[in-house]
């Protein structure tokens, strides 16, 4: 499984907060993915944004989303320190299975960005449930390596 990084808030059980905002384990509709007329989402049409490393992630985020504690890496960072960098997986950042029903697709316009997408046509609710099912796999990982 590819190693992926995402910035997210923490929930009350010290896992990533689920939801439909940019700093949660989830997706924004239609910003991240847009269901078709039947309410289905399709592979290769976008999904939850991820990056291949801590550094790649925080350098591509708007400074308003980068926690202030990372100002030494991202000058001007003004984000809240209540968001954290999380990772899951351990393989190379390349197209492949992430979890049941989910795959990583590399952004064709930016090799330092990818999408966790549905791996087959499924309902939006199925896709969201697959994303939420990864919750226990995410760990805070703010190392620069």
Q: Has residue 67 got a pLDDT over 80?
A: yes
Number of domains in the chain: 1
With respect to residue 19, please indicate whether it lies within any of the assigned structural domains: yes
Sheet arrangement for strand 48-50: 48-50, 114-118, 102-106, 96-99
Average of per-residue pLDDT values in the chain: 96
The rounded distance, in Å, linking the Cα atoms of 26 and 32 is: 9
Calpha distance 12→56 (Å, rounded): 28
Answer whether residue 59 is part of any domain: yes
Judge whether 145 lies within some domain: no
Provide the residue count of the chain.
145
pLDDT of 81 higher than 70: yes
Residue 50 lies in a domain: yes
**Helix, strand, or coil (residue 128):** helix
Indicate whether 54 belongs to any domain.
Answer: yes
Percent of the chain with pLDDT over 90: 98
**What is the span of the domain harbouring residue 100?**
4-140
Confidence of residue 103 (pLDDT cuts 50, 70, 90): very high
Is residue 21 helix, strand or coil?
coil
Band (pLDDT 50/70/90 cuts) for residue 145 is low
Assess contact for 72 and 11: CB atoms under 8 A. no
């Amino acid at each position: 499984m590819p190693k992926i990084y995402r910035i997210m808030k923490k929930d009350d059980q010290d896992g990533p907060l689920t939801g439909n905002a940019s700093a949660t384990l989830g997706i924004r509709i239609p910003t991240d993915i847009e269901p078709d007329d039947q309410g289905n989402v399709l592979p290769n049409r976008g999904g939850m944004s991820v990056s291949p490393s801590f550094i790649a992630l925080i350098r591509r985020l708007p400074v308003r989303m980068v926690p202030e504690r990372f100002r030494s890496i991202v000058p001007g960072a003004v984000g809240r320190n209540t968001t954290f960098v999380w990772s899951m997986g351990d393989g190379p950042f390349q197209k492949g299975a992430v979890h049941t029903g989910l795959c990583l697709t590399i952004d064709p316009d930016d090799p330092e960005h990818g999408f966790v997408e549905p791996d087959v046509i499924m309902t939006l609710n199925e896709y969201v449930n697959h994303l939420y099912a990864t919750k226990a796999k995410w760990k805070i990982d703010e190392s620069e390596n």
